Structure 1
């Protein structure tokens, strides 16, 4: 007997239920959302709050519950993870993320910093180590601090050095910006409460709480198990892309966790052991307005099963970042944006099976989003062609 086949319809049903987008699957707390997704994209601060809002039974509470989880209860942590990208993780997962992906990324990041400094004739590794110790001591005294505040305590952080000389993207880095980023990747510091509102990208920093040091292979197995439980089935290419690991590491983790093979339209896929049963009850029809870089929209490398290829030019920027999207029953059907006057506008591009019920549901989600934002104006960090057009930016 061959592997069980999981078709597109079932994959979309799993997505709606497991990512808490289906009507009956929405969450009460930000922690439940993060746990269901494994990670929320954190490169754009607004994505975290809007991604939570799209999955809460009461989206009006999204900002309050997310800020409480991030900055008061510390049950969610913003840190570097897969593919050298900033995410928000459940606090209990930070040790797993650090061991499975952070250690290797951090080693490359430190080597790159020292190489750039050496090329520019900047001080050596011993000097950088001394500055690092001073920075961490200042941060421990302050509790939380911005980069500007830390440079007042440690003036050497103001030192600058050129990088990529002679290239179109050459520039000047300060020691503070590169070192704080490096220490974040190494798990020594974490981003704290931002300066300003919840859409601000200027963060304070804090010394990272201690966590156990885990075996790399064990951590990779656990991270992959958590992600497949949330996003399976997925192909080997999906897994390699999402984790940023070598294919040998992906295969080792799949074997260690006893992943089961299934058949997908695009070939072989994987699920966690025992997760081959069909979805018992398809979710009720549902709509969602997801922010740019949302973890559902960016969750897989192969996206044709939920996003028609012809929609890509309008919905992605040139670097492959997706903008705000409109969803109906497990697939992307269009995009949305906020205009300068605060109005939420959208456009449906894929009308296959999209009728009055869908448009009514999308309008309801837009109304809820408008109520959440109020006077706040949100501009995605990575702007896409259709988002800019809808917002009136072109």
Structure 2
């Protein structure tokens, strides 16, 4: 008779999340590298998310900006690159080869094929011409060290050429060669985003040649990435794994077998943890509060989120594209949202029916004051605001 799968309930899943994602007071990290290592990757589509996600998990958040800029641009211990689901992430440098081989190469092949297909539709130059522009652009970057797209185009004028993209579709638009080619080179692991123009909240970046890394076997890389992610986020369902990685279900299953993942039960069906992680995990000594930014890797970590995000809160906290806005957390679950007003003050609201109690509200307010303190004169406005973000921040009258 087969042994029954151990059931991991909602309370234990939340306890694991709070401890492993560095949200508990006793689990806070000492550096941005520790945060990124604990979470595997930080969402980088909104530049501010990287800093806010790190600051929410540091024992000394006042040092967030200086420490994160050092890691990204001086030590290069963190790298911003394209990876899962065509999305920009920030990875620990030691993990970039794994991300590249497991995920980015597949994305890159689709990106290059799509670019050539779109160029051919409108009679733009062919693949030979594009290869010449690519090689010239990489040579310019090697000479300059870092450069914006505009600076690269001054050195390689063919980057300025424009062509119609998605002809005949509602979202048809004119694209420059530079915008599409740099994206392809990013997914191929040839270039990375460097230091931004302006402050740390800026979305305009310089480009730089990607650091060299070993070429890994794709299957082995997928197994390693999944092992790392399950250690941080397990238990997770097969649907969660497929969604987060963007892989085919066959790749997910092969990687699960390769790492000897253990099947457990969660509310809703079977899920997986790494070998040796089946034992019960105790919760933190005290419940804790956190203000996490939009697109935070914890908020966006799973496809099935009912165990930490009540369905009735989704309309206020998730936009039409599925992006989660800024969230208020208490004891391992999302209880509301927050935003920064134009005057710099933090506005937050609890959304759960019945509230969360005085202890929780006091802890949330302390987190809000701490965030306001280290932001100083900086104003943060999310690139992908959810409905509650807009309301609390006064973005839409």
Mapped partners of 1:185, 1:166: distance in 2: 26
2:49 corresponds, among 47, 50, 58, to 47
Aligned-pair CA distance for 1:336: 0.1
Aligned-pair CA distance for 1:281: 4.6
Contiguous gaps of at least 5 residues in structure 2 = none
1:108 corresponds, among 107, 110, 124, to 110
1:157-196 superposed Cα distances (whole Å, 9 cap, x missing partner):
0000011223221110000110011100000000000011
Kept after mapping to 2: 8 A contact 1:36/1:230: yes
SS of 1:187's partner is coil
The equivalent residue for 1:211 is: 213
Mapped partners of 1:161, 1:392: distance in 2: 37
Mapped partners of 1:245, 1:330: distance in 2: 28
Map 1:289-328 to 2 at 5 A.
289-328=291-330
1:30 corresponds, among 20, 32, 38, to 32
TM-score of the superposed pair, with normalisation by structure 1: 0.99
The equivalent residue for 1:375 is: 377
2:332 corresponds, among 325, 330, 335, to 330
Kept after mapping to 2: 8 A contact 1:45/1:198: yes
1:360 corresponds, among 351, 362, 375, to 362
1:3-61 superposed Cα distances (whole Å, 9 cap, x missing partner):
11110000000000000000100001000000000000000000000000000001111
SS of 2:35's partner is helix
The equivalent residue for 1:342 is: 344
The equivalent residue for 2:85 is: 83
Kept after mapping to 1: 8 A contact 2:12/2:283: no
The equivalent residue for 1:163 is: 165
The equivalent residue for 1:20 is: 22
SS of 1:57's partner is coil
1:239-272 superposed Cα distances (whole Å, 9 cap, x missing partner):
0000000000000000000000111011101000
Aligned-pair CA distance for 1:280: 3.4
Kept after mapping to 2: 8 A contact 1:13/1:283: no
SS of 1:332's partner is strand
Aligned-pair CA distance for 1:282: 3.4
The equivalent residue for 2:13 is: 11
Q: Provide the aligned length of Structure 1 versus Structure 2.
A: 394
RMSD of aligned alpha carbons: 0.8
The equivalent residue for 2:149 is: 147
1:275 corresponds, among 247, 260, 277, to 277
SS of 2:147's partner is coil
Mapped partners of 2:188, 2:69: distance in 1: 24
Map 1:233-252 to 2 at 5 A.
233-252=235-254
Is it true that 1:131 corresponds to 2:127 in the alignment?
Answer: no
Mapped partners of 2:344, 2:113: distance in 1: 45
Aligned-pair CA distance for 1:353: 6.6
The equivalent residue for 1:184 is: 186
The equivalent residue for 1:260 is: 262
